[in-house]
Amino acid sequence: MAVSVVFETHSITVDNERGLATGWLPGELSERGRGLSRELGRRRADDGLAAVLCSDLARAEQTARIAFRGTSVPVLLDWRLRECDYAVARIGWFLADLPRRWDGQRVLLIGHVATRWGLDHWLNGVPLEDLADGDFAWQEGWEYQLD
């Protein structure tokens, strides 16, 4: 069996709109970010999600709570999905644990740019140097397969 993984970044924050990096600080969604969170919920409503696994930083948690408010999809927080602290090992640990609970299911991860770097590195074999040098291009989710 395998785990089907969908990744989404947290919604737009007040800091994002000011051009500031928030790092491991909580951050707060802007009005636009709250609207995008509601849109995320509509986009993923019929996606067959078993759970939402989310960074424990406030901006990611706010994104998940707004998006999945009123649904039966559980939102579970995990510190390993936090923004960059110059190590992707924690994403590797997270991925190693994922099949133990979610084998054969589809899950949504909500995190940060560094979370996506970790996923691309561990699941697609992309060297970290290439990820760090590349431009971040936002899109409506990234799909991964964890075998």
Task: Supply the pLDDT for residue 6.
Answer: 94
Task: Supply the pLDDT for residue 33.
Answer: 96
Task: Indicate the domain borders of the chain.
Answer: 3-146
Low-confidence ranges of the chain (pLDDT < 50): none
Task: Supply the pLDDT for residue 38.
Answer: 97
Closest listed residue to residue 132, CA positions, set 72, 92, 64, 84: 84
Strands 142-146 and 49-54: unpaired
3-146: CATH topology: Rossmann fold (3.40.50)
- Could you read off the pLDDT of 8-39 as tens digits, one per residue? 999 999 988 898 787 777 789 999 999 999 99
Q: Which two tokens stand for residue 111?
A: 């995190």
Task: Supply the pLDDT for residue 85.
Answer: 62
Tell me if residue 99 falls in helix, strand or coil: helix
